[in-house]
A = this chain, B = another copy of it.
C-alpha cells in the first residue's frame, strides 16, 4: 500500500483510473464496507484508493472541526488490512491556496435538512469532492447512504457538471444496537452512547404511520430524551429533498440530533404508499 500526501506523488502513483473512497479519516467498519464495495467495482487488478482529509471548508462550526477525531496511524493500518492500494493524506495547506476563490455551489438539494442548519457545508463538500475527482480521475467513487443528502448532492453535481465518474451508493452500516456508524460516535460519553440508538428505533417506529404530521410527531417523541436535542427532523421527497405533504412518492425521514456538542445524523427511506 502506498501512502502519498501531494498531488504530484498521487498522479505518479496512479497506474490507471482507480475506484475512490473519499473519507475524513477516523475510519470505522462503515468506511471499510465502502472499501469492499470499491474493490468489487475495481476488480482484483484495479486500484482502490482512499483519501483521508478533514476538509476545513465543509465545517460550519470551528469547534466541530477542532474536535473531529484524527487517528491516522490506525486508519492506515485498517486500510492496509482491507487491501487498499493507495492512500492520499493531503494537508489543508496543499489543498487550498490562501487566495482560493472558486467554489462549487448547489442551490436546490442543499436548501433543506443539513444544508438549512449548516450554511456553506455542502458547497465545501462539493468543492473538495470535485477536487479529489480531478486529482484521482477515478472511474468510480463510493459514498455512504448515511449521508443521504450528501450523496444526492454529489449525484446532482456529477449530472450537472458532466463529471465522468460513476457514483456508487453504499447502505448505512450500523452497530449491533442499530446506531449508524459514524466517526463522531467516538466522541459520545458512555451514557450518551447508550441513549443514541433511540434515533434509529424512532425512525423505524414512525415509518408505520401514513400521515406526515403524525409520523413526524411520533418520531420526535421517540427521539427526544433528556440527553439530546433535535437539530432537525423532516420528512422530505426522496428525490427533490423538499418537504413531503403526503407519502404518494418515496420519501426520506431524516434527522440530526445533538448529544452535547456531538451531532449525529440518520435517515430512513420510505416507499411510496399506494
Question: What is A's interface to B at a CB cutoff of 8 Å?
Answer: 7, 97, 99-109, 126-127, 130-131, 134-135, 137, 156-157, 159-164
Contacts and interface: CB of A to CB of B under 8 A. Distances in A.
A17 B162 CA distance: 16
A102 B97 contact: no
Contact of A131 (B100, B109, B137, B161): B161
Contact of A157 (B99, B102, B107, B160): B102
A134 B164 contact: yes
Contacts of A162: 7, 131, 134-135
Contacts of A101: 106-109, 156, 160
B164 A137 contact: yes
B161 A127 contact: yes
A222 B134 CA distance: 46
Contacts of A131: 161-162
A147 to B, nearest CB: 17
13 contacts: A101-B106, A101-B108, A101-B109, A101-B160, A102-B104, A102-B126, A103-B107, A104-B161, A105-B105, A130-B161, A131-B162, A134-B164, A137-B164
B161 A102 contact: yes
Name the residue among A97, A134, A163 with the largest chain B CB count within 10 angstroms: A134
Nearest to A130: B161
A102 B105 CA distance: 6
A-B pairs, 3 with minimum CB distance: A101-B108, A102-B160, A134-B162
Contacts of A104: 102-105, 161
A121 B271 CA distance: 42
Contact of A106 (B102, B109, B161): B102
Nearest to A239: B99
Given A130-B161, A131-B162, A103 B105 contact: yes
Contacts of A99: 108
Name the residue among A126, A131, A162 with the largest chain B CB count within 10 angstroms: A162
B106 A156 contact: no
A120 B90 CA distance: 32
Contacts of A137: 164
A239 to B, nearest CB: 10
Contacts of A135: 162
A100 B107 CA distance: 9
